[in-house]
Amino acid sequence: MSTTGKVIRCRAAIVWKPGGSFSIEEVEVAPPKAKEVRIKMVATALCGTEMKMLKDKNLQHQHYPIIMGHEGAGIVESVGEGVSTVKAGDKVIALFLPQCGECTSCLNSADNLCIKFKQGETHLMSDGTSRFTCKGKPVYHFGNTSTFSEYTVMNEISVTKIDAAAPLEKVFLVSCGFSTGYGGAINTAKVTPGSTCAVFGLGGVGLSVIMGCKAAGATRIIAVDTNKDKFEKAKEVGATECINPQDYEKPIQEVLFDLTGDGVDFSFEVIGNPETVAAALASCHESHGVCVIIGLIIGVQLNISGHLFFSGRSLKGSVYGGWKGRDGASKLVSDYMAKKINLDALITHTLNLDKINEAVELMKTGKCIRCALLL
């Protein structure tokens, strides 16, 4: 029986209040309106952003109840009026970073931060309403996507069609984590062949940075983390050496200068810790070092010595690894299908969506890189 044009009842993981855990509830998902797409989600995962929002008061807002999730892939169930780039049955990647194709950023080949990205800050659809209800109450959207629901509604510009043969339980990583890290090295930093890199933070995004550095031809990739359990995986994906700051009495930037002689060519902060940003920047070569902030830092001020900028160093931000949303995601899925990139190494656990709170605990242990949540 066709569900087109009808309200769909399904399960979703809802957070009801700031600091709350996920609750599996039955929700009602309205049909897509003009330029919108309703998707049957197949695979999703907790990213560092959700983990931070669950515990960091600086990131918590007043938009509750909410269906989080911004990393996922699924199959189009139906489309609203005027949708032309996808149709029912298409496999798609969900994108927190839209690509409208019309704004100045989309039209600039060097930019990727589509103006429609800020629509996600309202936690509603473009018309100012929600497509989700639960127990008679509207439920807020998240990150232009809300992937922690068996069905979700997104704007067409936040969805990209991919190869029909692509395994959704693998390529969903292109939706955020892998692309953000891999592109941070290739597109934002523009890592050069023969260079030395330092990567601070060895979660899924950090490991993806390492993959990007290796693909770009870096000859020395130093992985930095306080959890030694992550070192084996880091070396598996391309790190040449791993160090734990807790093993040294001196600041980590001094350790890196000792190891390299004059600092690293490229450093990456993939934690979202203001103090680590300062250390990563200070680890860079004085003349030409580039430090890229990839970890999410919101609601805090950076405290960086101005002396570090009496040099040729540069500090850069990065969103979605510099990829344009729709174009980048489809390209990376094609690269995966052509065996040019390896996503499989990043998925260490697999659970069903109703076990999402178990996935949260797994992520907290540091032994889980990415836990695929199947819907």
Query: Would you please indicate which residues are annotated as catalytic (active-site) residues?
Result: 47, 50-52, 70, 100, 103, 106, 114, 176
β-partners of residue 74 are 41, 92
The C-alpha atoms of residue 7 and residue 340 are separated, in whole angstroms, by 41
Which residues contact residue 241 at a Cβ distance below 8 angstroms, ignoring those fewer than 6 apart?
A: 220, 221, 222, 223, 259
> Whose CA is closest to 68, among 34, 108, 96?
96
User: Is there a contact between 83 and 74 (Cβ–Cβ < 8 Å)?
Assistant: no
User: Is there a contact between 145 and 158 (Cβ–Cβ < 8 Å)?
Assistant: yes
In the numeric block, which tokens belong to residue 116? 């429609």
- Please give the biggest Cα pair distance in the chain: 68
List C-alpha distances in Å: 158 to 48, 312, 353: 20, 37, 22
The C-alpha atoms of residue 132 and residue 12 are separated, in whole angstroms, by 10
At 90, the amino acid letter reads D
The helix (run of H) or strand (run of E) holding residue 82 is none
Return the beta strands (E) in the chain as ranges.
Answer: 8-14, 23-29, 36-45, 72-79, 91-94, 132-134, 137-139, 151-155, 159-161, 196-200, 220-224, 241-243, 266-269, 290-293, 314-317, 347-352, 370-374
